Structure 1
Amino acid sequence: MKNLIITTCIIAICSSAVFGQNKHFTVHGSIEFEKTVNMFAFFERQINKNNEDFLRSAFDSYKKTQPQFKKLKSTLTFGDNKTLYTPIESDVQENGFFFGDSPVTNQVNTIADDLTTGQSINQKKVFETTFLVKDSLRKINWKITTETREIAGFTCRRANAVVMDSIYVVAFYTDDIAVSGGPETFTGLPGMILGLALPHENVTWFATKVNEIPVDEKSLTPPKKGKVVTNQQLAATLKNVMKDWGTYANAYLKAFSL
């Protein structure tokens, strides 16, 4: 009986070791993301915040001709512990409704992150000007939970955080992709973020497909064009430009800082 117990334990240990050795971790490839913005909820929130009657009338007209959800595509390429997040230009024509130029409802960032050095290069379109923001990665105090969901064929675990003092973030990451990256400026979890939501901003990013493919160094080349600034310098510039914008300034400043 004693020998049977010992043998059983040895088999269990060996099986566990083999299982661990056989587990496959993805370290290079590309991820296709879809950004979804609830335009009706976004505009409703802005109108209530600014309490402008003329915006209410314009919004009522907007709802009659425009879809509730705006969808935008992007790609995240990763390899050598680096990522490059690239928006895909949409061929859908905007109708010019007020707040339609908000960075929340568009894609203004092309971001190269070096997860080893902790440095980020963000080519950011701010109206008619392009900035090249060179700074450290955003530091996020994630709280990992036990909740899981499947995204693009991967089991992902939920994590929550608050950034910029007031923006609530929900992320779903998988440790099957052994790269601590994610869409936009969100990183820092023990695996790749495949799902991201800013519930109070009415926007989400979810992976639709993960491609495990070889990635060469050229595919991760950071953007180079734009006026070079830090995050702090960009914020100071925007505050100066928007100093006469009244209540609208804060919304745009926050959106461009995400």
Structure 2
Amino acid sequence: MKAQKYFLIIILLISARSGYAQHTNFAFEGTIDFEKSINMHAQIPRMINKDNEMFYRAAYDQYKSTQPQFRILKSTLAFSKDKTLFTPIDPDAGPRVMFNEQVAIAPQNNIIYTDLAASKVVAQKTIYEEKFLVTDSIRKITWKITSETRDIAGYTCRRANAIIMDSIYVVAFYTDEIPVSGGPESFAGLPGMILGVALPHENVTWFAKLVTPKALAAGTIAAPKKGKPTDNNGLIATLKSVMKNWGNYAQGRLKAYLL
């Protein structure tokens, strides 16, 4: 009887280890479907000032009566053990909505390839109908990992906090069940895949809705090639030159374009 009991325990342990190994093997490669959510009712009032209030206030009231509070946009992240490719999905065609384009952080304008092994990023950024091909090192983010956890897309994720670009507070949730140090847009640098990002003061989030572990076809993860070549410093210089007479309005747009 005792021998049968030990035999059963051994079988269960082997099965558990086998299942775990299979899961982690798949989690080194696959795709993640993300949704970006922008609270437009919080974003738009920031654009209104004494110089434009007469027009914008009426436009905002009309927006609230005809459009949802949250704009939802979709994207995909293809990943391998040392590379990722973030690609926005164009929203369904429909009538143009003024504020959806005027709120700088609302659209998704970046295709971002990250080579984790080489610590390099190639980002295709579309800004005012012009494409830039920005090649630089991965953004260094000083994360503070906490004990808080939550489930995202079926994965247990741990919370981490950080400040980027001197003033933007970031909350991220990563899972070590996908041992790839990537994430949506240019968020990376945690000991596992980032499945959720929130910028609380910017009223924007990115959260994974579906993780699909699978082998990817060769060439799936490749750097974009279209755009005017530059690096981060070059892009900043170009944008500041264009926006030098835009006053405070320029700061919000610059921040959004550099995320």
Residues of 2 paired with 1:43 and 1:184: CA distance?
A: 23
* 1:44-85 Cα deviation digits (max 9, x unpaired): 23326x774222222112111111111000000001410000
Alpha-carbon contact 1:122-1:134 (below 8 Å) kept: yes
Partner of 2:5: none
Which ranges in structure 1 are unaligned for 5 or more consecutive residues? 1-10
Q: Which amino acid aligns with 2:139?
A: R
RMSD (CA atoms): 2.3
Residues of 1 paired with 2:178 and 2:103: CA distance?
A: 32
Alpha-carbon contact 2:100-2:107 (below 8 Å) kept: no
Partner of 2:6: none
Alpha-carbon contact 1:135-1:230 (below 8 Å) kept: yes
Partner of 2:105: 104
Give 3-state SS (helix, strand or coil) of 1:61's partner: helix
Give 3-state SS (helix, strand or coil) of 2:73's partner: strand
Partner of 2:192: 191
Q: Which amino acid aligns with 1:182?
A: G
Structure 2 residue 213 is the aligned partner of structure 1 residue 179: no
Partner of 1:135: 136
Residues of 2 paired with 1:102 and 1:227: CA distance?
A: 24
Residues of 2 paired with 1:170 and 1:226: CA distance?
A: 31
Would you identify which runs of 4 or more consecutive aligned residues in structure 1 move more than 4 Å? Answer: 18-21
How far residue 216 of structure 1 moved from its aligned partner, in angstroms, is 3.0
Alpha-carbon contact 2:126-2:132 (below 8 Å) kept: yes
Range with bigger deviation, 175-184 or 36-45: 36-45
Partner of 1:30: 31
Residues of 1 paired with 2:95 and 2:174: CA distance?
A: 32
* Seq. identity, %: 54
Partner of 1:227: 228
TM-score where L is the length of structure 1:
0.88
Alpha-carbon contact 1:132-1:224 (below 8 Å) kept: yes
Which ranges in structure 2 are unaligned for 5 or more consecutive residues? 1-8
Aligned ranges for residues 62-141 of structure 1 at < 5 Å?
62-93=63-94, 95-98=96-99, 100-141=101-142
Partner of 1:53: 53
Give 3-state SS (helix, strand or coil) of 2:91's partner: coil
Q: Which amino acid aligns with 1:233?
A: G
Size of the aligned set, in residue pairs, is: 246
Residues of 2 paired with 1:129 and 1:138: CA distance?
A: 23
Alpha-carbon contact 1:162-1:169 (below 8 Å) kept: yes
* 1:115-144 Cα deviation digits (max 9, x unpaired): 011000000000110000000011100000
Give 3-state SS (helix, strand or coil) of 2:121's partner: strand
Alpha-carbon contact 1:149-1:157 (below 8 Å) kept: yes
Alpha-carbon contact 2:170-2:199 (below 8 Å) kept: yes
